[in-house]
Amino acid sequence: MKVNLNKANPQNYEIIFPKIPTEETMEGSTELTINIYESVIPSLTMEATPRYWQGGVAQYEAGSLTYEPWFVRFTVDSEFKNWLTLYKWMLNINNNKNKFSASREEYVVDATLKITDNNGLVVLKVDFINAWVNMLGEITLSQREGSRDLIASCNLMYDRYQISGV
Amino acid sequence: MKDHYFYNALRKTIIQFLDLFNDITIARYATDGEILKYVSVPVKFAPKTRGYYFQEKETATGEIIRDKVLPIIGINMTGLEYASDRAVNKNSNITSRRTQNDISRFLNPVPYDISFEVKIAAQYVIDITQIIENILPFFDPTAFIRITIPELDIIDSSEEGAANLDLKVIYEGSSPEMQVEIDEANFRVLEWTLTFKVEGFMFKPLKTEGVVKKVVNKIYTNETSWVLRNSTTQGASGIGNDAVEILTLPTSGVKYDEEARILYKYELYEKFEE
């Protein structure tokens, strides 16, 4: 029997974004990818419903699966390329001026989160299907925090994620 | 006396940690920036000797001289502490080997943090900075070393058995010591101390047990069969329908089982009444 005594490490991951729909080159998404420092495998919840019988209760699944948004934190590059890429991606869907919706195919992409073992070998691939950015976090500008890098965050919505072992 | 066991886990951890700093080479430069030669930096485990700055050399004429060896890396183990933050289920057995006749198991390894001090000594600042630049980029802030313990079947993952053990090495900090005042009899030695923590493990002894090949079970279904438990009557006709097992044994003793080839002790107990 093979037992693995080694533990997973939170640093062992890599996020890969394809070309964002509003990009002409990969410049912005590359700046985003190389500056990501924190992310999650989002939680998922299955709805449950109680069924009562003779004073007792049992929990049954109610069929619906909810994926929480995919949260990504990144350091903003000095030319704001990665932040602007996400901003343009959002405005491509609705700019609150003259474009109020977009065809779904125009703004969704499939992104990948790779989990590696301690030797860099990919052990798990999490593919986020039909992902699009729905929240771009605030950026705090300050005269008193000059020693820190500027950081931003974004939430991505998606239909589901599928896991594949490698 | 307790059985002796020794997996050499601590020594293997030290050796693998030392190996991280092996094969570091620095260059010596001319004033115009051209590389004159490459010098490999020796690594020593500091408790071994206090005189690690010196080494005997034989010159071209056969003369033995003692010369200082710089740069050099001296490594010392400075602490060993239980790491409760890495503890997992300590009652869980891990099966390492299973044969037809026995099964070997060990309990989850016990986490211990091992602290190391890496002292880099050199005569020139350029030597120190080269060595540091060859070490620190590999710790961000962790790197991994790997040990194997074949006795516990913790071996290369390509083979059958438990995977090998990856130990995390964490860079904790550094402190440069640059001498400012030197008396005439001495020479300047620049020292830079790096501290590291290795997240290691210690192991409890392996337990090997024989497998259960046969279970001897006697059941008395009612009082009548219990009363007749000492009967030496062979065959069911003398007891009646109440006995499901015909006993030819006294209530306790030693018996040899031909089929399982085991000598076993047995004892018969009174029927349990619900």
- How confident is the prediction along chain B (274 residues), in pLDDT tens digits per residue? 467 889 999 999 999 999 999 999 999 889 898 999 998 898 888 764 454 455 556 667 776 655 567 888 989 999 999 999 999 888 888 888 777 788 888 898 999 999 999 999 888 889 999 999 999 999 988 999 999 988 888 876 655 556 788 999 999 999 998 777 777 666 678 889 999 999 999 999 988 888 777 676 666 667 777 777 666 544 444 444 444 444 455 667 777 877 777 777 776 666 555 5
- pLDDT tens digits, residue range A118-152? 888 899 999 999 999 999 999 999 888 777 899 99
The residue-averaged pLDDT of A20-49 equals 92
pTM as predicted: 0.76
Chain A residues close to B154, C-beta within 8 Å: 5
The confidence score (pLDDT) of residue B160 equals: 55
The confidence score (pLDDT) of residue B244 equals: 46
Q: Is B98 in Cβ contact with A5 (below 8 Å)?
A: no
A7 → chain B, closest CA residue? B166
Residue pair B118/B193 in contact (Cβ under 8 Å)? The answer is yes
Residue pair B131/B71 in contact (Cβ under 8 Å)? The answer is yes
The residue-averaged pLDDT of A59-83 equals 93
pLDDT > 90? residue A40: yes
The confidence score (pLDDT) of residue B236 equals: 43
**If 0-12 CB within 10 Å is exposed, 13-18 middle and 19+ buried, where does residue B121 land?**
buried
Which pair of structure tokens corresponds to residue A115?
A: 């989990």
Q: What does pLDDT average to over chain A?
A: 92
Instruction: Return the SS3 of A27.
Output: helix
The confidence score (pLDDT) of residue B237 equals: 41
The confidence score (pLDDT) of residue B178 equals: 77
Which pair of structure tokens corresponds to residue A63?
A: 């069929």
Residue pair A163/A128 in contact (Cβ under 8 Å)? The answer is no
Chain B residues close to A6, C-beta within 8 Å: 163, 165-166
The confidence score (pLDDT) of residue B56 equals: 59
Q: Is B95 on the interface with A (CB under 8 A)?
A: yes
Q: Is A5 in Cβ contact with B109 (below 8 Å)?
A: yes
- pLDDT tens digits, residue range A49-61? 999 999 999 999 9
Interface test with B, best of A2, A5, A9 (most B CBs within 10 A): A5
Which pair of structure tokens corresponds to residue B194?
A: 């790096």
pLDDT > 80? residue A64: yes
Residue A73 distance to chain B (closest CA, Å): 19
Residue pair A47/A36 in contact (Cβ under 8 Å)? The answer is no
Interatomic CA distance for residues B152 and B202, integer angstroms: 12
Among A2, A9, A11, the residue with its CB nearest the CB of B162 is: A2
Q: In sequence order, what are the beta bridge partners of A109?
A: A131
Q: Is B144 in Cβ contact with A2 (below 8 Å)?
A: no
Residue B140 distance to chain A (closest CA, Å): 10
Chain B residues close to A11, C-beta within 8 Å: 140, 142
Task: Tell whether ipTM is more than 0.90.
Answer: no
B36-44 contacts, C-beta under 8 A, 24 or more apart: B39/B71, B41/B71, B41/B72, B41/B73, B41/B131, B42/B69, B42/B72, B42/B73, B43/B18, B43/B72, B43/B73, B43/B75, B44/B72, B44/B73, B44/B74, B44/B75
Interatomic CA distance for residues B226 and B273, integer angstroms: 12
Residue pair A71/A42 in contact (Cβ under 8 Å)? The answer is yes
Interface test with A, best of B89, B154, B157 (most A CBs within 10 A): B157
The confidence score (pLDDT) of residue B246 equals: 46
Interatomic CA distance for residues A130 and B35, integer angstroms: 55
| C-alpha dihedral sign at B234, B236, B238, B244 | positive
